C-alpha cells in the first residue's frame, strides 16, 4: 500500500500547474522572438555590410576603370610601339632576304629561266613547246624544273608584300603559272603517245601485253596496253605501286591502253569556281580614332566624286587557312579617265597604310580576287564539291582509257609509223552513252541491260596523307571545271591496310577529299612559355593534338619559372584584369585579385606581377620569334575557332 501511495504522490508532483505551463510557454515565445530579432538584426547587418562592400567594390571598380581609361591611350601606344618595332625589324629582315634571294636568282647559272622575267620564261615555254619526240623519262626530268618555276611564282604571289608587286605582275604571274601547267600536261600526253607507239616492242613475254611504271618524286605513270586482246582479261594491278583496275568485258577485246598518272600536286582545283572564298559586299569600318576618321572621310569623299557607275566596294568576308587559296591579288578594272583612278588608288593605298599603322597591324601577300556574292553561284548542285569546305589530299589521279596508236614498224632498216592528227586520242567509254540518254533509259535500266559496266579502281592511300575519317572520292568534270561526287559507287575502305576501292561509270580523273573544317572548333589551345625566345603552342581538336615548338634556336634559354605558378586573367577588347579565382575553383567569378589594377593590354597587366628580369626578357625578345608567334596565332585563329 505504501508503494502505491508513493507512486501516486510522485505523479501528482510531476504535473505542472496551468500557471507554470503559461510561464514556460511565455518564456519559449520570448526566446523565439529574441532569436528572430537577433537573426533579423544579423541579416540586416550582413546585408548592410554586403551593400557597403558592393558600394566600395563598385567605387573601387569605377576608380580603376577611370584610371585605366585615363592611361588607355598611353598603354596602347606603348604596346603598339613595342610590337611594331619587332614586326618592322622582322619585315626588314625579310626584305633583305628577298633582295638576297633575287640576287641569288640572278646569279644562278644552271640554265633555268627566271619566271618573273617575261622574256626568259616566254622563251623557255616556246622552245619546250616546239620540242617533239621526247620520251617520258625526259619529260619527267624536265617536269621537276617546271614545277619549281610554278612554286617560285606561287611563293611570290603568296609572300611578296603588296607594295613590291603590281597588279599587272600578279596577272602575268597567274597567266605564266597556267601556261606552265597546261604545257606540262600536254607534254605528258605527247610522251605517253610516243611510249604507246612502242607498246609492241615493250610487251611482256608472259602476258603478251605491255605494262610499265615510270616515276620520280612528284609523278608516277602506270600504263598498260592491251595487245593480247584476251576476252577473259579482267584487270591488272601494279603491285609495287599498290594500284590497279578492273576492265569491262567490252574493252577487253579493244585496242586500248589504260593510263594512271598520279601527280602529288593538284593543278585542277585552282580552275574551279569554288576555289576562292566569297567576297561579301560590306562597308569597311576601321579604328574609331579621330585622325583615322578624318582620313577615311577624305578618301570616301573622293570616291563619291569619282566613283564610276555600277562600281562596288568589296571586302573579304573570310579567308581560308590553306595559304594556297590566297595567292591571287585583288584586281580592279577601272574606266577612263586614268588620272582620276590613279589618284583614287593612291588615296586608298595611303588610307589603308595609315589605318594599319593606327591599328598596329601588318599585312603581307595578296588577297583573293574581288568576286561579287552572286546568289546563283551559291546554289551548287548536290554532287558538286565546294572547295571552300573541302580540301583535296594525296594529289590527282588521271585515269584514262586511250586508243592504242599505230605501232612503229621496221621496214628495210627504216622505222615507220602512221602519224595521227590531234595527238593522243582518248577512247570513248561508254560509247553508246549519248544514245542511251536519248532513249530516256534510267540508270537502273542501263545497269540491267549491262550497257556500260562500271570501271573498278583500287589503290593504297599514300602514307604521307592523314585522313581523320573515311576518305571521300571526287571526280573531275572538265566541262564545268568542278570536282563532283556522283558516278562513284561501291566504295570500300580498309582502314588497317589503307586500301581504297570503288567503281565509276567511266574513266575519270579523281582525287581524295576531306572536310577542311573537320577539326573545328578547337577543343582547347594553350600557349605556354619555355624560356626566353621559346614557347609551345598546343591546339587540341576532336581528332588530333598539334604541338608547335617556337624558338630561336641559337638564342633560346631553358625555362626558369615553376610550372605551378599560374594565374588567371580575363581579357576583352577594352581591358585586361587578373581574377581572384584559380583553375581549381568550382564556380566562375569576375572578382578582381586583391590590390590588382586594370590595364588595356595583357602586356601591362603582366608587368604588375612579373620580375624585372622577366619584363626585360619580354621587351628584348627576338624580332623573328615575335613575328613567328604573331603569324601562327593569326593563321590558326585560336580565338575565332575555339
Provide, rounded to the nearest whole percent, the portion of the chain with pLDDT above 90.
50
Residues 387 and 454 in one domain: yes
- Among 377, 410, 438, the domain boundary falls at 377
pLDDT at 271: 94
In a domain, 4, yes or no: no
Q: 3-state secondary structure string, 16-62?
A: CCHHHHHHHHHHHHHHHHHHHHHHHHHHHHHHHHHHHHHHHHHHHHH
Residues 256 and 399 in one domain: yes
122-136, 393-407, 417-431, 452-466: the lowest-pLDDT one: 417-431
In a domain, 226, yes or no: yes
pLDDT at 286: 47
Residue 445 pLDDT exceeds 60: no
Task: Average the pLDDT over 65-86 and give the result.
Answer: 92
Residues 259 and 407 in one domain: yes
State pLDDT tens for residues 595-634: 889 999 999 998 888 888 888 888 889 999 999 999 999 9
Q: How many domains does the chain have?
A: 3
Residue 212 pLDDT exceeds 90: yes
Residue 491 pLDDT exceeds 60: yes
Residues 260 and 400 in one domain: yes
All cell numbers assigned to 119: 622574256
All cell numbers assigned to 17: 500547474
Domain holding 164, by residue range, is 114-196
In a domain, 328, yes or no: yes
SS3 state of residue 154: helix
Residues 134 and 264 in one domain: no
pTM of the model: 0.74
State pLDDT tens for residues 13-25: 567 788 888 888 8
Residues 388 and 466 in one domain: yes
Mean pLDDT (the chain) is 81
Residues 227 and 192 in one domain: no
Report how far apart, in Å, the C-alpha atoms of 389 and of each of 271, 277, 296, 517, 522 are.
16, 10, 35, 7, 17
Torsion angle of C-alpha atoms 245, 247, 251, 254, degrees rounded to 10 = 60
Write the DSSP symbol of residue 599.
B
546, containing H or E segment: strand 545-551
Q: 141 pLDDT band (50/70/90 cuts)?
A: very high
Residues 439 and 331 in one domain: no
DSSP sequence for 197-260: TTTTTT--TTTSSEEEEEE-SSEEEEEEE--S--TT--EEEETTTTEEEE--GGGTTSSEEEEE
φ/ψ of 38, rounded to 5, equals -65, -40
Q: 302 pLDDT band (50/70/90 cuts)?
A: very low
- Among 141, 175, 196, the domain boundary falls at 196
In a domain, 88, yes or no: no
Residues 350 and 419 in one domain: no
In a domain, 49, yes or no: no
pLDDT at 3: 54
Residue 221 pLDDT exceeds 70: yes
Residue 228 pLDDT exceeds 80: yes
Q: What is the CATH number of the domain that holds 223?
A: 2.60.220
Q: 434 pLDDT band (50/70/90 cuts)?
A: very low
Task: Average the pLDDT over 481-497 and give the result.
Answer: 95
Residue 363 pLDDT exceeds 50: no
Task: Average the pLDDT over 573-578 and give the result.
Answer: 90
Write the DSSP symbol of residue 405.
P
In a domain, 475, yes or no: yes
pLDDT at 2: 53
pLDDT at 279: 67
Amino acid at each position: 500500500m505504501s508503494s502505491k501511495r508513493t507512486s501516486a504522490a510522485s505523479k501528482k508532483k510531476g504535473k505542472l500547474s496551468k500557471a507554470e505551463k503559461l510561464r514556460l510557454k511565455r518564456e519559449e515565445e520570448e526566446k523565439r522572438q529574441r532569436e528572430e530579432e537577433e537573426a533579423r538584426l544579423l541579416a540586416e547587418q550582413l546585408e548592410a555590410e554586403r551593400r557597403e562592400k558592393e558600394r566600395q567594390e563598385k567605387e573601387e571598380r569605377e576608380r580603376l576603370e577611370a584610371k585605366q581609361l585615363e592611361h588607355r591611350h598611353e598603354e596602347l601606344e606603348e604596346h603598339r610601339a613595342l610590337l611594331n618595332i619587332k614586326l618592322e625589324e622582322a619585315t626588314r629582315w625579310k626584305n633583305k632576304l628577298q633582295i638576297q634571294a633575287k640576287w641569288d636568282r640572278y646569279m644562278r647559272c644552271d640554265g633555268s629561266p627566271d619566271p618573273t622575267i617575261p622574256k626568259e620564261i616566254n622563251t623557255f615555254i616556246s622552245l619546250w613547246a616546239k620540242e617533239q619526240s621526247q620520251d617520258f623519262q625526259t619529260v619527267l626530268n624536265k617536269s621537276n624544273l617546271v614545277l619549281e618555276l610554278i612554286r617560285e611564282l606561287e611563293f611570290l604571289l603568296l609572300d611578296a608584300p603588296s607594295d613590291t608587286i603590281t597588279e599587272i605582275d600578279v596577272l602575268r604571274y597567274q597567266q605564266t603559272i597556267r601556261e606552265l601547267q597546261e604545257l606540262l600536261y600536254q607534254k605528258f600526253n605527247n610522251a605517253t603517245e610516243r611510249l604507246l607507239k612502242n607498246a609492241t616492242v615493250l610487251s611482256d613475254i608472259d602476258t603478251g601485253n605491255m605494262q610499265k611504271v615510270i616515276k620520280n618524286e612528284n609523278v608516277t605513270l602506270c600504263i598498260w596496253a592491251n595487245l593480247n586482246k584476251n576476252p577473259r582479261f579482267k584487270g591488272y594491278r601494279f603491285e609495287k605501286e599498290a594500284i590497279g583496275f578492273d576492265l569491262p568485258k567490252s574493252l577487253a577485246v579493244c585496242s586500248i591502253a589504260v593510263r594512271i598518272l598520279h601527280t602529288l600536286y593538284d593543278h585542277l582545283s585552282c580552275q574551279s569556281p569554288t576555289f576562292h572564298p566569297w567576297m561579301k559586299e560590306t562597308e569597311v569600318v576601321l579604328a574609331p580614332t579621330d585622325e583615322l576618321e578624318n582620313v577615311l572621310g577624305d578618301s570616301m569623299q573622293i570616291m563619291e566624286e569619282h566613283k564610276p557607275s555600277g562600281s562596288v566596294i568589296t571586302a573579304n568576308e573570310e579567308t581560308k587557312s590553306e595559304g594556297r587559296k590566297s595567292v591571287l591579288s585583288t584586281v580592279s578594272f577601272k574606266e577612263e579617265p586614268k588620272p582620276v583612278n590613279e589618284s583614287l588608288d593612291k588615296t586608298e593605298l595611303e588610307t589603308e597604310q595609315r589605318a594599319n599603322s593606327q591599328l598596329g597591324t601588318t599585312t603581307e601577300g595578296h588577297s583573293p580576287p574581288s568576286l561579287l556574292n552572286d546568289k546563283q553561284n551559291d546554289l551548287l548542285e548536290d554532287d558538286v564539291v565546294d572547295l571552300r569546305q573541302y580540301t583535296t589530299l594525296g594529289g590527282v589521279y588521271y585515269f584514262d582509257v586511250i586508243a592504242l596508236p599505230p605501232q612503229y614498224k621496221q621496214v628495210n632498216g627504216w622505222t615507220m609509223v602512221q602519224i595521227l592528227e590531234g595527238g593522243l586520242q582518248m577512247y570513248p567509254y561508254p560509247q553508246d552513252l549519248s544514245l542511251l540518254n536519248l532513249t530516256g533509259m534510267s540508270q537502273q535500266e542501263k545497269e540491267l541491260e549491262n550497257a556500260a559496266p562500271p570501271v573498278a579502281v583500287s589503290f593504297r592511300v599514300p602514307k604521307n596523307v592523314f585522313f581523320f575519317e573515311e576518305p571521300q572520292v571526287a571526280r573531275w568534270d572538265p566541262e564545268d571545271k568542278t570536282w563532283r561526287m556522283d558516278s562513284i559507287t561501291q566504295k570500300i575502305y580498309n582502314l588497317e591496310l589503307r586500301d581504297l576501292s570503288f567503281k565509276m561509270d567511266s574513266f575519270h580523273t579523281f582525287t581524295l577529299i576531306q572536310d577542311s573544317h573537320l577539326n573545328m572548333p578547337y577543343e582547347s589551345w594553350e600557349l605556354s612559355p619555355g624560356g626566353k625566345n621559346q614557347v609551345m603552342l598546343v591546339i587540341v581538336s576532336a581528332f588530333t593534338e598539334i604541338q608547335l615548338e617556337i624558338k630561336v634556336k641559337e638564342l633560346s634559354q631553358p625555362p626558369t619559372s615553376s610550372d605551378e605558378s599560374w594565374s588567371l586573367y580575363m581579357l576583352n577588347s577594352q581591358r585586361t584584369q587578373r581574377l581572384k579565382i584559380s583553375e581549381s575553383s568550382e564556380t566562375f567569378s569576375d572578382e578582381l585579385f586583391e590590390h590588382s589594377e586594370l590595364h588595356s593590354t595583357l602586356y601591362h597587366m603582366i608587368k604588375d606581377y612579373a620580375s624585372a628580369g622577366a619584363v626585360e626578357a619580354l621587351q628584348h625578345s627576338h624580332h623573328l620569334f615575335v613575328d613567328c608567334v604573331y603569324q601562327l596565332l593569326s593563321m590558326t585563329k585560336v580565338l575565332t575557332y575555339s
